[in-house]
């Protein structure tokens, strides 16, 4: 484990995966990664939920993670989404991410299976033992129907390369509870844009963000203000961004954010089944929110 954990902070977009003619558009993805870094993003998460990871083949996973590593060139950490509800498959993806040069892995709680807390612990323990990459747990009960309880997280934090959590519970008190159980060095990053302000106040150090796909500079400025303790500025930026935070989930993500990024000319407005294209009424909402925030004329 060679990553300086202090680099896991700030605004980290959960990157969309551009498609063209049914295939991953690697050129568009590479350009998007470069734009994100230029706009001030502090890290990159390829192949997460926002990147439509359940629909990517292993070859596509390798192409996307490899492209992120190639373009980042160490300027910001690349945290590959390697989770699965199959422990064996999660190990394979994590080992592949390590081989491709990712700096860390983001591993989601097993979905659909609904393991016990002991099963959850054993799942993450097996993955941690199979890699030297630092691992961020990803707790998103709304998506997975599995919740990594704070006590279980405290147990997992004792494993050397389980270094933090992407917390998408939207419960800001979790940050305080987890800090008490996991220690102050455990990296806590929000996975929920709308509550990121409160999460940071409770001890969080950043957000793995959907909105940062569309407004990377504003999201980076917001996180920088939080890090400096300038919560007056952070609140102003948060209130400015809130229409986007809300509207980018007007339908199942990432359909709204994919459409929003397409309006910026960064990708085609294409998602893979079983996601549906955004409805016309929702497109109008996304355009209106982007205009209100100042991203469109």
Active site positions, annotated? 138, 166
Alpha-carbon distance of 21 to 177, in angstroms, equals 46
Contact 149, 181 (CB under 8 A): no
Q: For residue 155, count other CB atoms closer than 10 A to its CB.
A: 18
Phi first, then psi: give them for residue 136, nearest 5 degrees. Answer: -100, 125
Contact 18, 268 (CB under 8 A): yes
19-20 vs 23-24, strand pairing mode: antiparallel
Contact 182, 157 (CB under 8 A): yes
Q: For residue 2, count other CB atoms closer than 10 A to its CB.
A: 7
């Amino acid at each position: 484990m060679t990553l300086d954990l202090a680099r896991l902070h700030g605004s980290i977009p959960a990157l969309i995966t551009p498609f063209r003619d049914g295939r991953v558009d690697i050129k568009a993805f590479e350009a998007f990664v470069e734009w994100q870094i230029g706009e001030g993003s502090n890290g990159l998460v390829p192949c997460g939920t926002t990147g439509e990871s359940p629909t990517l083949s292993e070859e596509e996973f390798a192409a996307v993670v490899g492209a992120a590593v190639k373009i980042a060139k160490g300027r910001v950490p690349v945290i590959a989404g390697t989770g699965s509800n199959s422990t064996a498959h999660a190990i394979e993806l994590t080992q592949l991410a390590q081989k491709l040069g990712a700096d860390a892995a983001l591993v989601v709680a097993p979905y659909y299976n609904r393991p016990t807390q002991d099963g959850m612990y054993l799942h993450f323990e097996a993955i941690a033992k199979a890699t030297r990459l630092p691992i961020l747990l990803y707790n998103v009960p709304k998506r997975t129907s599995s919740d990594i309880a704070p006590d279980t997280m405290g147990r997992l934090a004792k494993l050397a390369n389980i270094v933090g959590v992407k917390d998408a519970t939207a419960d800001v008190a979790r940050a305080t509870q987890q800090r008490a159980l996991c220690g102050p060095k455990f990296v806590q990053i929000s996975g929920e844009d709308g509550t990121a302000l409160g999460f940071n106040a409770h001890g969080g150090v950043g957000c793995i963000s959907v909105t940062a796909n569309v407004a990377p500079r504003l999201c980076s400025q917001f996180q920088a203000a939080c890090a400096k303790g300038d919560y007056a500025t952070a609140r102003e930026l948060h209130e400015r961004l809130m229409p986007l935070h809300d509207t980018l989930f007007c339908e199942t993500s990432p359909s709204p954010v994919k459409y929003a990024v397409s309006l910026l000319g960064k990708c085609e407005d294409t998602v893979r089944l079983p996601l549906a294209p955004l409805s016309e009424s929702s497109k109008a909402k996304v355009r209106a929110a982007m205009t209100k925030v100042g991203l469109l004329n």
